[in-house]
Amino acid sequence: MKCRRARKKLSPYLDRSLAVKEKLELERHLKSCSSCAHLLWQLERIHNLAQNIPVEKPEPLFYERLCHRLSQKEKAAREGLFRVRWLWPVFPVPRLRKISITVAVLLAVCGSSFYLWRSLSVPQITLRTFEEEYFRSRQMISLTDELILPISDESE
């Protein structure tokens, strides 16, 4: 067994959770490797010290309160997108929060679609402007008459 693998198994060895074969392999390695043996000794000391720390008992109803808080967290996590903390003061009621976010998303989608449609769509124009300009150019020719022909199709 190599040191790297042996060091990973030191904690399970102290917890006595290693299989017999692994335990024997580790013990064989510890006999030949002073470094890993020293590390085991250090871990044993920490373990012993920790055993001596007195255990404090939780307050009464601690577990009930913890369970309640955990269930609340689980519920908030289920709300997903609507778990926006900065909105809580504005819309304290979760339902309002949901509605406001849905409306905002819908507006954004509609707005961007409209912008896309505007930029992609082709404007409709008539020939009138061009016809007027053409006849104006004709007027600038010295021998053309001053009276302008009315644009041929007013309704266009």
Partner 1 sequence: MDLRFHRTILFKLFVFAFSILGLVSATWGIEPQEILSRSLEAQFELDLEGIKKTEFHTHQKDYILTARFIRLGPDFSYLLYLSPSKIKGRMILDDGTSRKDYIPHKKKLRIYPSLNSSLMQQRRRENLELLLTNYTISRQPDEFILGRPSYVIFFIPRYPGNPRLNIWVDKRTYLPLRKERYNAEGKMIASSSFVPFNLRKEFFRESAYQSARRILGEERAPAFPLFYTLQEIGRIVKFRLKVPEYLPPGYILQGASLVDEGMAAKLTYTDGLGVICFFQRSRANIKMRNFQRLRFGSLEGKIRVGEDEKTLVWNKNRMTFVLMGDISKEELRRIAESVK
Binding site for partner 1 (CB under 8 A): 122-127, 129-131, 133-134, 136-143, 145-147, 149-150, 152-154, 156
For residue 86, count CB atoms less than 10 angstroms from its CB and return exposed for 0-12, middle for 13-18, buried for 19 or more.
Answer: exposed
- Measuring CA to CA, which residue among 104, 73, 79 is closest to residue 93? 79
**Residue closer to partner 1, measured from CB, 59 or 145:** 145
Q: Which residues contact 71 (CB under 8 A, 6 or more apart)?
A: none
**Residue closer to partner 1, measured from CB, 27 or 153:** 153
35: enclosing H helix or E strand? helix 34-52
Smallest distance from the beta carbon of 116 to partner 1, in angstroms? 16
Smallest distance from the beta carbon of 135 to partner 1, in angstroms? 9
**Residue closer to partner 1, measured from CB, 32 or 124:** 124
Smallest distance from the beta carbon of 124 to partner 1, in angstroms? 5
Cα separation, 78 vs 112, in Å, equals 29
Tokens standing for residue 155 = 């309704």
Cα separation, 156 vs 148, in Å, equals 18
Smallest distance from the beta carbon of 112 to partner 1, in angstroms? 22
**Residue closer to partner 1, measured from CB, 48 or 152:** 152
